[in-house]
Amino acid sequence: DGGITQSPKYLFRKEGQNVTLSCEQNLNHDAMYWYRQDPGQGLRLIYYSQIVNDFQKGDIAEGYSVSREKKESFPLTVTSAQKNPTAFYLCASFRDRAGGYTFGSGTRLTVV
Amino acid sequence: KQEVTQIPAALSVPEGENLVLNCSFTDSAIYNLQWFRQDPGKGLTSLLLIQSSQREQTSGRLNASLDKSSGRSTLYIAASQPGDSATYLCAVFNAGKSTFGDGTTLTVKP
């Protein structure tokens, strides 16, 4: 079955440490997105990529970095510059205007 | 800048009731609107997508309508069940990305 796989499901980060969240899709979608969700709040866009080797900052890109070396993969690195990284992170791909979004199951990141 | 509002933020109904969730947006130049369901601690599951040229979509007990001119969409759930309890989010797509509402948390009591 086609879909999006996010790993790990839970991740713990120490202060000052960089961590990378994985997002893989086998849907052959060109566009991929990273969102952050905080308790009781909506989704905020971190980064998105509409094609391989290209990506754009979203609304809250500071303290995050991404790469898009392969169509299937769009990893997100949470750097030590992100002062409040504890949140639920969601990866999504977008087929087209007719197909809409497909989301992964999310990664919950906690700073310890 | 596109803004998406979902009212109410929370809704509690008895089982079997028909209900309507609302989604409003400020910029009517959208390509599509998508409704999602999110269970606690889970990702978003797509329910219905309405393209800008369409007025409604139906899937089982769900019916979503779109009125671009007034900047509104509704999600109608017929004969609600306890398993429908979840947060429902709408998202409008334009200019290469989507804007999400904060969601309506629905509780269906047995």
| Token output for A12 | 């713990």
pLDDT at B77: 98
pLDDT digits (tens, 9 = 90+) for A34-80: 999 998 778 999 999 999 999 999 999 999 999 999 999 999 999 99
Closest CA to B51 of A1, A100, A15: A100
pLDDT at A47: 96
* Residue B32 clears pLDDT 80, i.e. is over it: yes
Q: How confident is the model at residue A107 (pLDDT cuts 50, 70, 90)?
A: very high
Is-contact A107 A88, C-beta < 8 A? Answer: yes
Please state the three-class secondary structure of chain A as a single string. Answer: CCCEEEECCEEEECCCCCEEEEEEECCCCCEEEEEEECCCCCEEEEEEEEECCEEEECCCCCCEEECCCECCECCEEECCCCCCCCEEEEEEEECCCCCCEEECCCEEEEEC
d(CA A46, CA A93): 14
- Residue in B100, B102, B104, B105 to test binding to A, most A beta-carbons within 10 Å: B100
Contacts of A43 in chain B (CB under 8 A): 89, 100
Mean pLDDT of A86-107: 91
Pairing mode, if any, of strands B10-14 and B104-109? Answer: parallel
* Residue A9 clears pLDDT 90, i.e. is over it: yes
Mean pLDDT of A71-99: 92
Interface of B with A (CB under 8 A): 31-32, 34, 36, 41-46, 49, 51-52, 89, 91, 93, 96-98, 100-103
pLDDT at A1: 62
What distance in Å separates residue A64's CA from the closest CA in chain B? 19
